[in-house]
Amino acid sequence: MGYILQQGRVIAAYGRLGEGSVLWFGANLPYHMAYYDNWAEKAFMVKTLKSMCKPGGEIRPLKISRPNYSTIVTFLDEASKGLVVKETYYPSWEAEVEDHLGRKRKLEIYDAGIHMMYICLPEDLHYPVKVTLRLRPDPPYYVGGGISIMTVLMAFHIALKKGKARFSKPRKHNSL
């Protein structure tokens, strides 16, 4: 196992777990490097990932699209054991894989830690494949949305009432 410290805190760690490798970034490096288009961070990430690959292994780019807030589509040309998705796990996320012949099947989604999901891919897939994740809101999702809307409306109503009171006609005061 190895790690990188910044001001006494671990910001990156890597190691082996069973037959696999684990790479953890406490600073959310993948998001940061993509959002800020930081080439130094990208080079560090690629070098770190390559060091974890088995001899002859390679890092392949993925084709990913996000047509809306509740859908993520990933295209895989070559075999893979699974996908790690940077999205908060919620039980109403659903995943399905579609092979090049149009055959579809449901996939399990696992909570992979803070703001991450893992989708295990079956070994018998015929590539290329398309993996689609969809958020299917359930009743608590709608209840939470309703509560949020009601809270905003009440705050707006209170602000209007206070505004009217502040701008009402001034009262006449008796002079001495």
**What is the domain-level CATH number for residue 75?**
2.60.40
At 130, list the tokens: 């398309």
Domain contains 170: no
End residue of a domain, out of 42, 59, 76? 59
Q: Please give the average per-residue pLDDT across 145-171, as a whole number.
A: 82
First to last CA, the chain: 84
Q: Please give the average per-residue pLDDT across 147-153, as a whole number.
A: 95
Q: Are 75 and 157 part of one and the same domain? A: yes
Of these ranges, 11-20, 35-44, 127-136, 159-168, the one predicted with the greatest mean pLDDT is: 127-136
Q: What is the predicted pLDDT for the residue at 87? A: 87
Domain contains 116: yes
Buried residues in 115-138 as b, exposed as e (16+ CB within 10 A): eebebebeeebeeebbbbbebeee
- pLDDT band, very low/low/confident/very high, at 168 (cuts 50, 70, 90): low
Q: What is the predicted pLDDT for the residue at 93? A: 94
At 134, list the tokens: 């969809």
pLDDT at 107 over 90: yes
Of these ranges, 85-94, 156-165, 166-175, the one predicted with the greatest mean pLDDT is: 85-94
pLDDT in tens, 41-76: 778 777 777 766 666 666 666 788 999 989 999 999
Question: Pick the residue with more confidence: 11 or 68?
Answer: 68
Q: Are 79 and 158 part of one and the same domain? A: yes
Q: Are 48 and 116 part of one and the same domain? A: no
Q: Please give the average per-residue pLDDT across 156-165, as a whole number.
A: 80
Q: Are 78 and 133 part of one and the same domain? A: yes
Report the chain's mean pLDDT, rounded to a whole number.
82
3-state secondary structure of 7: coil
Phi, psi values for residue 151, rounded to 5°:
-65, -45
Q: Are 142 and 65 part of one and the same domain? A: yes
Domain contains 172: no
Q: What is the predicted pLDDT for the residue at 60? A: 65
pTM to 2 decimal places: 0.57
State the residue range of the domain holding 74: 60-163
Cβ atoms of 77 and 68 within 8 Å: the answer is no
Phi, psi values for residue 75, rounded to 5°:
-110, 130
The number of distinct structural domains making up the chain is 2
Q: CA 171, CA 141: separation in Å to the nearest integer?
A: 48
Question: Pick the residue with more confidence: 104 or 81?
Answer: 104
Q: Are 7 and 88 part of one and the same domain? A: no
List of E strands, 18-150: 20-25, 63-68, 71-76, 82-85, 93-99, 104-107, 109-111, 117-120, 129-135
Look-up of token digits 């959310």: 28
Phi, psi values for residue 8, rounded to 5°:
80, 5
Q: Provide the 10 A C-beta neighbour count for residue 45.
A: 20
Q: What is the predicted pLDDT for the residue at 172? A: 67
Domain contains 171: no
The alpha helices in the chain, defined as continuous H runs, are: 29-36, 39-52, 139-166
Domain contains 92: yes
